[in-house]
Each structure stands twice: as C-alpha cells, then as structure tokens.
Structure 1
Amino acid sequence: MTTTNGCAACASQPFQIFFVLAAGTAAAGVQPWLIGSWPVGMTAAVWHREMLLFGMVPGVLAGFLLTALPRWTRSPPVPQRVVRVLMALWLAGRLVHLWSPGMAAPIAASFILSVAMLVAVRVVKAGAMREIKVVFLLILLAMAAAAPDVMPADFRLRLALAAILGLIAVIGGRIAPALTASYSALRGAQFARQLPHSAEVAAALSLIIAIGLWCFDADGQGPASLAAAVLQAARLLAWRPWRVTGQPGLVAIHLAYAWIPLGLGLNVLRSAGLGVSDNAVLHAWAAGAIGAMCLAVMASMARRQSRQAFSRPAGSLAMFFAGVGAAPLRLLAELGMPFQLQLAALCWSSAFLLFVASYRRYLGLAR
C-alpha cells in the first residue's frame, strides 16, 4: 500500500494529535540544557521532570492506549469528542505548568485517571481482564503526579518511574515479541515459543520487588535487582532480538527494553558501593528505557496504523540513532565528562523532532 493510502487509513486516529503533542513536550523538556532558560519560579530539574514524566509520557500513553483499545477489547473506536476533551485536559495541565507546577500536578493526575477509567470501562465490559494491570499502573502514575511535596523529595519521581517501567514491561513485553514474530514470518523464519508462563510470572514478580525496593530506597536492593536483571535479560533474549537487525524500528524497541535490565544491573553496582550514582540508575531508566521506548512505540504505532508496519520513512534512521544515543551520553555526564549533558539533551530533542518530521504524513501533518 502506498504512503498516501496508508495515511488515509489512519486518519483522525487518537495517536496522531497526542504523539505530536508528546514529541513537542519531550523536546521542550530538555530546553534548560540547550538554551539555558526555563520558567521563573522553578528549577531546571523540576521543569525537566514534570514535562517528561507528567507531560510527555502520559501523552504517549494516551495516544497509544486510545488507539489500541478498540482492538484489545473488540469495541468501537473512542469517540472524537472524548479524544478532544482529553486533549483539552492534557493541554490545560501543560499550560498551567508554565507558571505553577503545583497547580499543574492535579490536572496531570486527573488526565491520567481519566485515561485509566476509560481503559477500565472498556476492559471490564469486554471481559479482557488481562489488560486490567495497565489500569492499575496508570492509577499508580496518577498517584505519583498528585503526591504532595511534603513527601520525601524524590519519592514522586521514583513512584512515577516505577509505574512507567511497569507499563513498559507490560506493553513493550507485548509489542516486541509480536512484531519480531511478524517480521520473522515475512522472512520465512518461525518464531519459537517464548519463556514458559512460570518464568514470565517470576520475571514480573522479581521486577516488582526490585523496583519497589528502589522506589522506597529500602535494604536488599542489590540481590533483588540482580535477580530481576537476570530474568528480564532472559525475557528479552527469548524474543530473539537478533532476528530484527535488518529493521531499525524493531531494533530500537529491543534496545529500549534492554535498558530495564541494564538499569537493574547499575543498581546492583550502586548498592555494592562500586561508584555508580543513584542518578545514573535513574537516567538509565528515564532516558534509556522510557525515552527510547516512547520514541520507538510512537514510530511503530504510526507505521502499523498506516498499514506499513516495516516501512522506513526518510529521516527515521537518524531519529533512531539520536534516540539511542541520548541515554549513553547522559550516563557519561554522570562521570563528569564535559559537554555530555548538552550532547545528550541535543540527541534527545533531535530524536523527537525528527520523529515529527519523518512521520508527518502518518501524523496527519502533510498532504
């Protein structure tokens, strides 16, 4: 199918507007390190954190879930009026954030809860209770957005990261093997059975325990993170990532997921006092797993909804290189290397802007 027809197939889909808004928010979220300015009354770190965790990520989740929900639950598309109301609520949170982050937090929480309730109603009505864990994780993210500032300084940040990592494990853990199987089938290769159900359950429980201990900065993080890292790495290898080396978009999804066990491994080293900072662990997950997965999933859904799941729009390769490079550069900045923070911010911002430019037809931004 041609690009024009493919774009007609995904006209007026929820992902189109939300992915554009999320990509713009992602680029703006690193502006303190690119242009050296941010709104008066907040620090660069607060601007960065709130824009990405409670602006960009909820926008990506809304675009993905509202588009995928009809297929998951075999139900009609989400009405356009509902999408417009949710978009207005998201925009209200971002506009208020420009002058009052404290007032923006409840709006962000309301937006996330609204998406969660919409998903919950469809899931329960369809009897698709397999998806209910997505609802619980969205509620956890909403709780992080609404958490008061009187709590420990970084608790909101850790709780939000924990919820988002859980969503990546669930959603990314479905997309990566499914797309790998489809791509393998097109090339005449069979996709072997994944990990046994018991191993999947063990991987999930170990991740919950490890991230939970990290979230509360509790004892026992080292052994728990080591066990979770091994099981998450085994899960990733079971998807046969080497089979998609000819498709950069699929490679990006696997690389993004790989940052979950890599971050867990860094937390093992941190817990052992081997010179790894907590900030390094945090950014391995934030810039690596979350940032790269958001970018890869947005690109994948745009292609899939246009019925060109394995196409390569012009500029998409540069987009993926920039997105993949942002996390390692951010970790190098933790070692005190000069200009690495600015380079990481430049790669991050460029990746999301290149997404909009490369996928503009899929996003309804060009004829």
Structure 2
Amino acid sequence: MSIPFPTSPSFPDSDRSVPRRRRRAGDLSRDGRGRLLAAPPILSYGFRPFFFAGALYAGLAIPVWLWLYFGGHAMPGSFSGLTWHIHEMLFGYLAAVVAGFILTAIPNWTGRLPLSGAPLAVLAGLWLIGRLACAVVANPWAAAGLDLLFPLALMASVWREVIAGRNWKNAPIAAMLTLFALGNAAHHAGNIGLLQSDAGVRLTLGVIAMLIALIGGRIVPSFTRNWLVKAGADRLPASMGRLDRIALLTTALAALFWIAVPDRPVTGGLLLAAGGLIAARLARWQGQSVMREPILAILHIGYAWLAASLALLGLAVLAPAMIPASAALHALTAGAVGTMTLAVMTRASLGHTGRPIEADGWTVAIYAAVTLGALARVAAPFAAGAYGPILVVGGILWSGAFLGFAVRFGPILWGRRATARA
C-alpha cells in the first residue's frame, strides 16, 4: 500500500538546518539564508509575526466570545456571535499559526529564500484586515472579500514556492492549504446563505485533522528519536510502516466521509477506526520515555488528543445521546489543535532563534493551562447545571495559555537571535 504523502521533515528544530543559498555578487542585503538584513527581527521569518499574532488573538478572542455568550451581546459585523467565534478560531488564530508554520518550513523543503521583510509585512497586514473585516464590516459580501485576501495570498505564495522549487513531494501540503482557503470561503458562503452553514467548518476541521495526523506523524517520532538517541536509550520510536500508512489512509477516509455525510453510521465507524489506529501509531513512539521532558511530552499529548477526538466524533455520530457533538468537536479544536499549535510554537520559537530547546517553568505552565482548559471545555457539555462555570474556567485556562505564550515568547519573537550565528 502506498500513499503519496511527503516524507521529508517539514519543520526543522532550528533554522541552522535550512539550506544556505549562495548570495549573488554584490547582494549584501540578505544573510546566508536570504533574510533581509535591514528588516526588523519580527519580519525576518514567517513564524515570528504569525505565531505572535495568532497567540495574542487566541488569548483575546475567547474572553470576547464569553462576553458575547453570557452577556447576550452581538458583534457589529455580519456574523452572529457564535459564527464569529467559530470563524475566528479557525480562520483567525489557527490560520495565523498555519501560516507561520508553513512559511518557515518552505525554505527547508525547497532550498529557496524565505519570505521576509516587506512581503511578509504585507501578508501579515492582510491577515489583520481580515480580522477587522469579520468583526466590524456589516456587509457579508464585503467582509468575505476582505477576509479572503489573506488565505488566497498565502496559498499563492506556497504554490509558487513548491512549483519553482519543483518540490512535488510537498504538494499535498499546499493542496491542503488550498482546501483550508476553500473552507474559509465556504464558511462565508454559509453566512451569506449560499451553502449549509457548517459545510465550511467540517471541510476545514477535516483538513486540519489530516494535517495534524500527517505532520505530527513526522515531527513527534523524529524529535523523540533524536532525544532518546542522545540519552542513550535502547528502545526508539518505530519507523514509518504499514500501520502508519493504514492509519493515515483511514483518517483521510474518515475525514472525507465526515465532510460529505457526517451523520451516517459508516462515518462514525470510520472515525472510531481512525481514532484507534492513530492511538496505536502513537503507542509505538516511546512516549512514556520522554514524559520527564515537557517540550517533547506535549507533542505526544497533542497527538493523543487527535486520537481521542476522532474516537469521540465517531461516538457522537453512533451514539449522540451519550456523546454530545460539541464535546467531540472541542476535543479536536481546543484539545488537538490547541495543544499541537502551542507545542510547535514554543519549540520552533526557541530553536529558530538560537536558544536551547527546553521548557522553562513558564512554558510548562502554558502546557498545563492549555491541557486543563481543553479538558474543561470537553467536560462542560456533560456537566448539566455546571455547564456555564466549567465553560468559563476552561475558556480562562485555554486563552490564558496563549496569552502566556505571547508574554513569554513575545520578546523572543520580536528580538534578535540569542547566538552570534546568523
């Protein structure tokens, strides 16, 4: 069985692994990796502005949503409060993190120059315009047009790099980014009344689940293996094999069925099977051996959230009276997405700025907050009369984790490298 997924590492521990390109004669405006020397540090690499903006936005948007929900307030834009919350969690916070991840991975894929300086500032500006449009522009067509500028520009830049670098093995990642942009458009279309209101949400979440399964399946065992080898361990994570391919194929099928026919028993069965296979895959990566290393343990916890969320989504289809759909959805969003994004953001922010890749006390607190916040959000629908208080506690913890990232890692992202090596 063969699946045409890319196999090379997507995201290096440090930008020292990015191939160096020879500078053209007389080109003194770029360093050895092609970053603009005159650009401020925040615009030297894609992860810097987008990780900071995404974390800050996630930390602020959840309290706003709780204020809207419990206060009965409405946004001045075209979205209802709930629709705005869903849209901004997917296409505001998450889109920013995805952009930072992919823009930083592209030079490693292709050996080409990273996006930096003014072009990166323009892309970040388009993201900000989208957030303002979704919040305050009352005309839904105008809000959609302004918001879609960012995903379309990001999609075009990624495809340009894949094609120019002839890096076809990573074309599936660019294709998934295209589907992410289509999910954004579909969500706007649902708000306008042209499509089912949840069609874009399922498309986007299906794509994100597959991205976590695929990219998480690269970085979790790879980083774990590196750490265990340095520690002299005898047992290492299993290499990519038949079980992994079956798990990815099943997850892809489950996502497709969930997007197209979400209420069918076959969909529930596929989701349950995917959750079990993802869990079996994770069990082969020696996670129990790295629990004392928080910056690695959080990657395993994030991937475990993916397995649990797929299983809960399947149970929500097969036994809706037992498993509320909102609990299953938030296991995927608050749990898998929230945990994996923070895990990658903290690790990459350290490694790509020349700092030791290890979690200090503040970072461990961030990991604890996002985990407890996600658990509370998943538990809230089961709590009957305590739903409101648990929802608030979960929201405070989860958003606090991202605000904590912005405070702790903001100076790192805005500052220069910690080492003299450029």
TM-score normalised by length of structure 2: 0.79
1:91-122 deviations in Å (ceiling 9; x for gaps): 11011112137333344433223222222222
For residue 412 of structure 2, give the secondary structure of its aligned residue in structure 1.
coil
* Pair 268,51 (structure 1): closer, same or farther in 2 beyond 3 Å: closer
Cross-structure match for 1:259 = 305
| Partner residue of 2:165 out of 117, 126, 144 | 126
2:228 corresponds to which of 184, 188, 191: 184
Change (3 A) 1:116 1:246: same
Distance 1:278 1:185 in 2: 41
Q: Which residue of 1 aligns with 2:104?
A: 67
Cα distance in 2 between the residues matched to 1:252 and 1:44:
32
Match of residue 359, structure 1, among 395, 404, 409: 409
Whole-angstrom CA distance in 2 between matches of 1:193 and 1:257: 14
1:167 corresponds in structure 2 to 211
Post-superposition offset of 1:34:
5.2
Residue 25 of structure 2 corresponds to residue 25 of structure 1: no
Bigger shift: residues 275-284 or 109-118: 109-118
- Look up the equivalent residue of 1:212 and give its one-letter code: L
Bigger mean CA offset, 144-153 vs 117-126? 117-126
249-258 vs 310-319, which deviates more?
A: 310-319
Question: 1:226-237 alignment to 2 at 5 Å?
Answer: 226-237=272-283
What is the 5 A alignment of 1:63-102? Answer: 63-100=100-137, 102=140
| Aligned residues between the structures | 359
Q: Is the 8 A contact 2:207 2:255 kept in 1?
A: no
Question: What do the CA deviations read for 1:242-300 (whole angstroms, capped 9, x no partner)?
Answer: 22212212211211111121012112322332510111111110111111111111111
Determine if contact 1:134/1:170 at 8 Å carries over to the other structure.
Answer: no
User: Which residue in 2 is equivalent to 1:343?
Assistant: 393
Residue 276 in 1 paired to residue 320 in 2? no
Q: Which protein shows a greater Rg?
A: 2
The superposition leaves residues 31-53 of structure 1 with CA deviations (integer Å, 9 ceiling, x where unpaired) of 22158455235433122111110
The match for 1:143 among 182, 189, 197 is 182
Using the TM superposition, give the Cα deviation of residue 61 of structure 1 relative to its aligned residue in structure 2, in angstroms. 1.1
Residue identity opposite 2:304 in structure 1:
A
1:197 is displaced (CA, Å) by 3.6
Return the letter of the residue paired with 2:400: S
Which residue in the other structure is 2:156 paired with?
117
- Alignment partners' CA distance in 2, 1:126 and 1:169: 25
Cα-to-partner distance string for 1:25-73 (whole Å, 9 max, x where unaligned): 1012212215845523543312211111011111111111112211221
Q: CA deviation at 1:238?
A: 2.1
Q: Which runs of 5+ in 1 are unaligned?
A: 1-8
Decide whether the 8 Å contact of 1:263 with 1:281 is kept in 2.
yes
Q: Is the Cα–Cα contact under 8 Å of residues 113 and 138 in structure 1 kept in the other structure? A: no
Cα deviations by residue, 1:218-248 (Å, 9 ceiling, x for unpaired): 4212221222112111221222212221221
Q: Following the alignment from structure 1 to structure 2, what is the Cα–Cα distance between the partners of residues 297 and 34?
A: 29
- Aligned: 1:307 with 2:354: yes
TM-score normalised according to structure 1 size: 0.90
Q: CA deviation at 1:190?
A: 5.2
User: Which of 63, 75, 95 is residue 39 of structure 1 equivalent to?
Assistant: 75
Match of 2:256 among 188, 207, 212: 212
Aligned partners of 1:109 and 1:162: how far apart in 2? Answer: 20
Q: How far apart are residue 171 of structure 1 and its match?
A: 2.1
**Aligned to 2:413, what secondary structure does the other structure show?**
coil
Over the aligned positions, Cα root-mean-square deviation in angstroms equals 2.3
Q: Is the 8 A contact 1:252 1:320 kept in 2?
A: yes
Structure 2 gap ranges (5+): 1-32, 36-40
Counterpart-to-counterpart distance in 1, 2:237 and 2:215: 19
The alignment partner of 2:411 has SS state of coil
Q: Does 1:295 align with 2:342?
A: yes
| 1:315 to 1:207, Cα distance in 2 relative to 1, 3 A | same
Shifted more, 271-280 versus 203-212: the winner is: 271-280
Where does residue 29 of structure 2 map in the other structure? none
Residue 5 of structure 1: aligned partner? none
1:317 offset after TM fit, Å?
1.2
Between 13-22 and 76-85, report the one with greater CA deviation: 76-85
